[in-house]
């Protein structure tokens, strides 16, 4: 009896089971999912499977489950609607939006006036108009941030930090895009530079270079500093504080929300704390934070002005009878060149604070 040979049906995309295909599609980026819509009717249906778009909504737009419920839309619809609004910023939006969300969440209970001073986001046409006004393209990450918040009102304290000395005060506001455009520089020394911040007390601004010029890289953020030794009075030096707007803004926010920059009297003070600058004797801990003041510094001649903040605190586990009072101070300060300066005297800034367990000065 002859054996009967049977031919198996050819394996096609249409005959593959749904679950393995959905698993494969779950590894694709949003661009590939969209491209799948044009391959076949089957893939078009599968790539529209709504749970596939949940990951992309969270990854690129930070859309929460609560927000989805409030808007009463499916994930794919949310992704498409958001993309149609801010899609050009998809490579920057998540980082910038997270920084803004983290900053506002941290500041709301601590500096509510500062949060209330923030302006609503600018429109695309507003940013386009500014580009036409200044004759330069704005960086996409800058535009992205200003779509979320168009700077702040000119108030004190400013969002970008404060510094207070006995005879000097600085508080920097984040400028809205129209005010920034009014301060756009075409003059020698600051050519193609747009101000990001402004201090109404000192006139100090941080700038972003929207074009590469005069030794600056495009998108660098910096403080300007006049070159006091140059023959050309327009010559300036720079204290660079960020390679891009994103680098500048997110690093600042990280320092604030991590507690690296202390909040004192509803203001953010840009003191930098070095973990190595801490000494403990018994129940008493002394820590030192420093802050660079570019407005009082120069590169030519080399003069770099720092202020410092000393915190003295007693362990919360110390016995109540261990409470003590600061009687005098002695500091031995060594700079980068090895030069030593000694400071001593009664109390501190004319005060003699009492230090008790869990409290400091």
> Based on the domain organization, do 341 and 203 belong to the same domain?
no
Compute the average pLDDT of residues 279-284. Answer: 92
Domain of 343: which CATH number?
2.60.40.1470
Confidence of residue 227 (pLDDT cuts 50, 70, 90): confident
In a domain, 6, yes or no: no
Domain of 76: which CATH number?
1.20.1280
Domain of 158: which CATH number?
3.40.1580.10
Q: What is the pLDDT of residues 294-314, one digit of tens each?
A: 999 999 899 899 998 888 999
> Based on the domain organization, do 343 and 207 belong to the same domain?
no
> Based on the domain organization, do 194 and 324 belong to the same domain?
no
Q: Is the pLDDT of residue 1 over 60?
A: no
Question: Do 269 and 291 touch, CB atoms closer than 8 A?
Answer: yes
Question: Do 224 and 190 touch, CB atoms closer than 8 A?
Answer: yes
In a domain, 263, yes or no: no
Q: What is the pLDDT of residue 29?
A: 95
Q: Which of 175-189, 226-240, 290-304, 322-336 has the lowest mean pLDDT?
A: 226-240
In a domain, 329, yes or no: yes
> Based on the domain organization, do 153 and 286 belong to the same domain?
no
In a domain, 190, yes or no: yes
Task: Please name the residues in contact with 18: beta carbons below 8 A apart, sequence gap of 6 or more.
Answer: 46
Q: What is the pLDDT of residue 332?
A: 87
Q: What is the pLDDT of residues 84-138, one digit of tens each?
A: 999 999 999 999 999 999 999 999 999 999 999 999 999 999 999 999 999 999 9
Question: Do 180 and 194 touch, CB atoms closer than 8 A?
Answer: yes
Q: How many domains does the chain have?
A: 3
Q: Which two tokens stand for residue 259?
A: 């507690």
Q: Look up the domain containing 24 and give its range.
A: 15-89
In a domain, 196, yes or no: yes
Distance CA 170, CA 242 (A): 20
> Based on the domain organization, do 78 and 116 belong to the same domain?
no
């Amino acid at each position: 009896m002859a054996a009967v040979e049977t031919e198996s049906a050819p394996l096609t995309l249409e005959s593959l089971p749904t679950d393995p295909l959905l698993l494969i599609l779950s590894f694709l980026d949003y661009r590939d999912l969209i491209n799948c819509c044009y391959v076949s009717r089957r893939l078009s249906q599968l790539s529209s499977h709504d749970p596939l778009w949940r990951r992309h909504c969270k990854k690129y737009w930070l859309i929460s489950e609560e927000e989805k419920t409030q808007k009463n839309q499916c994930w794919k619809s949310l992704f498409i609607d958001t993309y149609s609004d801010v899609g050009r910023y998809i490579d920057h939006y998540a980082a910038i939006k997270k920084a803004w969300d983290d900053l506002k969440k941290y500041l709301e209970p601590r500096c509510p006036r500062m949060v209330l001073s923030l302006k609503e986001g600018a429109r695309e046409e507003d940013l386009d108009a500014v580009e036409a006004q200044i004759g330069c393209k704005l960086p996409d990450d800058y535009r992205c941030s200003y779509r979320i918040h168009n700077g702040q009102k000119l108030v004190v304290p400013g969002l970008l930090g404060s510094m207070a000395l006995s005879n000097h005060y600085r508080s920097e506001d984040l400028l809205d895009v129209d005010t920034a455009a009014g301060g756009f520089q075409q003059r020698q020394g600051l050519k193609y530079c747009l101000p990001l911040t402004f201090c109404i007390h000192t006139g100090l601004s941080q700038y972003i270079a929207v074009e590469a010029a005069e030794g600056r890289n495009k998108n660098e953020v910096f403080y300007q500093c006049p070159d006091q030794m140059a023959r050309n009075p327009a010559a300036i030096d720079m204290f660079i504080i960020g390679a891009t707007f994103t680098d500048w803004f997110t690093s600042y926010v990280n320092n604030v929300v991590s507690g690296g920059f202390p909040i004192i009297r509803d203001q953010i003070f840009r003191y930098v704390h070095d973990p190595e600058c801490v000494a403990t004797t018994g129940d008493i801990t002394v820590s030192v934070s420093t802050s660079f003041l570019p407005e009082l510094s120069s590169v030519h001649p080399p003069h770099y002005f720092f202020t410092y903040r000393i915190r003295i605190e007693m362990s919360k586990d110390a016995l109540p009878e261990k409470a003590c009072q600061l009687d005098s101070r002695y500091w031995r300060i060594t700079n980068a060149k090895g030069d030593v300066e000694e400071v001593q005297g009664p109390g501190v800034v004319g005060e003699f604070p009492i230090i008790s367990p869990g409290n400091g000065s």
